[in-house]
Amino acid sequence: MATALLEIVGIYFDKTIDIPDDGVENVLALMDLAKEQYPGFDYSLQSSGSMASIEYTHPEDFTSRSGKQRPAGVYKIGEDRNDPGNPVAWQYYLNEKRDGRRKSRTSGGDFKLPGASEKVDPDNEVIWRCVRIIIRTPDDLVG
């Protein structure tokens, strides 16, 4: 059995996922394995196949990378249906080990659906980011 790393920025999910020795067919397959291996991890897709939300229920208090104590509970990022005027943009980065260093197989400008045929090999790392796009007019900014 081999492993890959899955990190979801914003919900403090940074876990090693067991995968077959020959990898998994795409990022969505890695997400499905994460759901099986980590109770409390879940995600939903939009009808287009793009990501809608990702959540993880931390079973106990934990310390984030910055050293800050965080309480147990549900951490979720994604679309806010109550705020349709400020959409979100999802990105994932797929990194692989080459020459002893992690190097990206994707760039920030790439738009790929998680079910695309972007194979995840052993020792790869997938990092998800969700960015909210704040749409304001100059009048909104004057206070």
Encode pLDDT of 1-59 as tens digits: 899 999 999 999 999 999 999 999 989 999 999 999 999 999 998 887 778 889 999 99
Note the pLDDT of residue 112. Answer: 63
Counting Cα atoms < 13 Å in the Cβ hemisphere of 9 gives: 11
* Mean pLDDT calculated for residue range 64-73: 94
Note the pLDDT of residue 122. Answer: 93
Is the distance from CB of 120 to CB of 29 less than 8 angstroms? yes
Phi and psi at 14, nearest 5°, equal -145, 90
Is the distance from CB of 58 to CB of 8 less than 8 angstroms? no
Number of domains into which the chain is organized: 1
pLDDT digits (tens, 9 = 90+) for 125-134: 998 888 777 6
Domain that holds residue 125: 2-141
Is the distance from CB of 14 to CB of 7 less than 8 angstroms? yes
Distances (CA, A) of 103 to 2, 10, 124: 19, 22, 9
Note the pLDDT of residue 116. Answer: 74
Helix and strand numbers, DSSP H then E, in the chain: 2, 10
Note the pLDDT of residue 130. Answer: 85
Helical segments of the chain, H only: 27-37, 138-141
More confident residue, 87 or 82: 87
Distances (CA, A) of 113 to 26, 98, 129: 9, 24, 13
Note the pLDDT of residue 82. Answer: 62
Note the pLDDT of residue 110. Answer: 55
Amino acid symbol at 80: D
Q: Which pTM does this prediction carry?
A: 0.82
* CA gap 22, 24 in Å, rounded: 7
Note the pLDDT of residue 38. Answer: 97
